[in-house]
Structure 1
Amino acid sequence: MKIKLILCLIVVVRGNPTNSSCKEIHLNNKPHKKHVLGMGLNRPYQLAYDHNEHKVFFSYNIGNDTEDTFQIGYIKKDHIKHENVPDVVNGFAIAVDNKDNIIYFGGSEGIYKQHLKPNSTVEKILSNHNIWDMFFKHHLYFIDYPSQHLYKCIHGKSGIETEHQKHIHEKIYQYVIDGDDDTFITNETGLYLIKNGTTHRIFYGEPTVFRAIEVNNKGVAYFSAKDGIYVADKTSNKLEIVVHIKNIFGITFDKDDNIIYSSPYEIIKILPERCK
């Protein structure tokens, strides 16, 4: 993918943003209030949350109408203006290890990592891969583009090495491991659950647009589709909607498991409050 540098219009405001008119929605049938964390962004994807510094990381499009070119940015706590992560070429994918305070960035030229502490630098750890998506649990997993195959990063004698996860043989778009160590994947035919220790796929739904799959701090997998956010009912092997929100691009969770999601131009946190 060709990289271009262009100017992106942003709204510059410092302080804790509030909405001029309260927007109330119902999450799990309980009233919640939307709080805008960031705005003026073009399709923010791949959200991730730093539990220590309370930063929201994301990728967003800085390209034109005919070519997508991505940059990784972040928003600090109580700021609405975003800043950019340097040195990641066409950065698109993000995964965070909040236990060891490390964040990983994936771009068109490989994978980078940064320690989540002040004045830390971005370090490239893997080359020769174009990264589509990433997920961290005990190990860093990534989906390569354009093959759409799944790999696991391991520590080898010469540094980071990759293992092709051959039990997932098909092309996939998303991959997560939940709190039961079960795996969810999406491919061109739909959403599937793979129980821990097996290769059998349990079908969860017809092909649809899942722009994000994320696991909260309790290990529950959440799925954002065209009409809202869903969770999996493992008893019936079906998805259940928890909140109706259209056109979601990314999803993550703060330290208290409040949902943070992105619309085409904003990043929003949902808090259990009523509009007054």
Structure 2
Amino acid sequence: MNRILFIFVITSTSGIPDKSCDRIRIGNNWYERETLWSDLGRPYNLNIHRGSNTLFFSYTQPETYSDVDFQLAYYNLDSNDHQNIVGIRGGCAVAINQATDEIYLGGSEGIYKYNMLTKLADFYKEDGVNIWALFYKRNLFYISYPDQKLYIEIDDKFSPVKEFIGMEVDHFHVNKDNDIYFANKTGLYKYDNDNNNIHIVNNLITVRQIVEDIDDNVYICTNLGLFSIKVDELEKVSDMKNVHGLAFDRDNNIVISDEKNIIKLINSKSGCIDDKDHW
């Protein structure tokens, strides 16, 4: 399998850099852009079902920004088949159990399961609950809106996560080592299970998404650029500030979004002569 990965060691860029180019540098690697879907409104919450190599995400219609009318959609990275997902009012959340191929979608009236064969979403649970975000790691989690409370599904029922009662949560992630990271309007934090306390990772950034690549490396998409987590510290890998979402496909290729486009990054042997991020 041909994998395109972030590489943080010192490498040399082969080829002659172009004097003017439209490539992107992440870490020490350069990428060309392939726009997959354009003229969207702020696509975010990118999440790829790796079995089918299908990207799921949410966006808003440009003409309805003031109304914040969310719409879920999918894009198959192999066939280029893409369309909106019908039947979910205010659809804005995605979580995927990669082991069982279960795809959970959230909207303003609860949680749904997406059927890959019928391309329809069937109601699952939490009727009438406004779902802000979903996350899957052995259990299904959701964040409610507008109170930003975190819930977990245990024994077919959802209950508040007791360690987070009284906290606002906008983003939630558990890595392979069961380290818990979460973010809200005040920054990015790590919850220490052993000592039942919270550490500040960074209180200067606005987190847009927390994701993992297929090698379990954790990345943070923020208003100040892209970061990786290295021993509870953030390491900046790109100064791109206009990235709204980030995901990795089955081959670890990078898919990102800006204010209007879904973009796949393709590894390039040459970079830009001024050695800056072009975004």
TM (normalized to structure 2)? 0.83
Describe how 1:77-116 pairs up with structure 2 within 5 A: 77=77, 82-115=82-115
Matches of 2:39 and 2:164 in 1, distance apart? 38
Query: 199, 212, 215: which is aligned to 1:215?
Result: 212
The aligned amino acid for 2:192 is K
**1:175 counterpart SS class:** strand
* Corresponding residue for residue 246 of structure 2: 251
Matches of 1:52 and 1:164 in 2, distance apart? 31
CA-CA distance at 1:196 after TM superposition: 4.3
Runs of at least 4 residues off by over 4 Å: 78-81
* Corresponding residue for residue 25 of structure 1: 24
* Corresponding residue for residue 134 of structure 2: 134
Q: Please say which of residues 58-67 and 44-53 is displaced more in the overlay.
A: 58-67
Describe how 1:34-49 pairs up with structure 2 within 5 A: 34-49=33-48
CA-CA distance at 1:118 after TM superposition: 2.3
The aligned amino acid for 2:150 is L
Matches of 2:192 and 2:23 in 1, distance apart? 37
1:130-152 CA-partner distances (Å, limit 9, x unpaired)? 11111111111111011111001
Matches of 2:243 and 2:109 in 1, distance apart? 27
1:183-208 CA-partner distances (Å, limit 9, x unpaired)? 10112332111234442212111142
The 1:270–1:189 alpha-carbon spacing in structure 2 relative to 1, beyond 3 Å, is same
**2:223 counterpart SS class:** coil
CA-CA distance at 1:275 after TM superposition: 5.0
Describe how 1:122-271 pairs up with structure 2 within 5 A: 122-126=121-125, 127-156=127-156, 161-169=157-165, 170-234=167-231, 237-271=232-266
Any gaps of 5 or more consecutive residues in structure 1? 1-20
Equivalent residues of 1:33, 1:274 under 8 A apart: no
**Higher relative contact order, structure no. (Cα contacts within 8 Å, ≥ 6 residues apart):** 2
Matches of 2:113 and 2:204 in 1, distance apart? 33
CA-CA distance at 1:274 after TM superposition: 2.8
**Percent of aligned pairs with the same amino acid:** 30
Matches of 2:23 and 2:181 in 1, distance apart? 31
CA-CA distance at 1:78 after TM superposition: 5.1
CA-CA distance at 1:166 after TM superposition: 1.6
1:36-70 CA-partner distances (Å, limit 9, x unpaired)? 22111111011111212221111110252421101
**2:162 counterpart SS class:** coil
Equivalent residues of 1:250, 1:262 under 8 A apart: yes
The aligned amino acid for 2:28 is N
The 1:269–1:199 alpha-carbon spacing in structure 2 relative to 1, beyond 3 Å, is farther
1:99-155 CA-partner distances (Å, limit 9, x unpaired)? 11111110000000124x322532111113111111111111111011111001233
CA-CA distance at 1:209 after TM superposition: 1.6
Equivalent residues of 2:85, 2:119 under 8 A apart: no
The aligned amino acid for 1:183 is I
Equivalent residues of 1:22, 1:34 under 8 A apart: no
Matches of 2:258 and 2:151 in 1, distance apart? 29
CA-CA distance at 1:22 after TM superposition: 5.8
Matches of 2:197 and 2:136 in 1, distance apart? 22
Matches of 2:224 and 2:73 in 1, distance apart? 26
CA-CA distance at 1:272 after TM superposition: 2.1
Aligned Cα root-mean-square deviation (Å): 2.0
Matches of 1:57 and 1:120 in 2, distance apart? 12
* Corresponding residue for residue 277 of structure 2: none
* Corresponding residue for residue 10 of structure 1: none
CA-CA distance at 1:226 after TM superposition: 1.5
TM (normalized to structure 1)? 0.84
Matched positions, count: 249
The 1:135–1:83 alpha-carbon spacing in structure 2 relative to 1, beyond 3 Å, is same
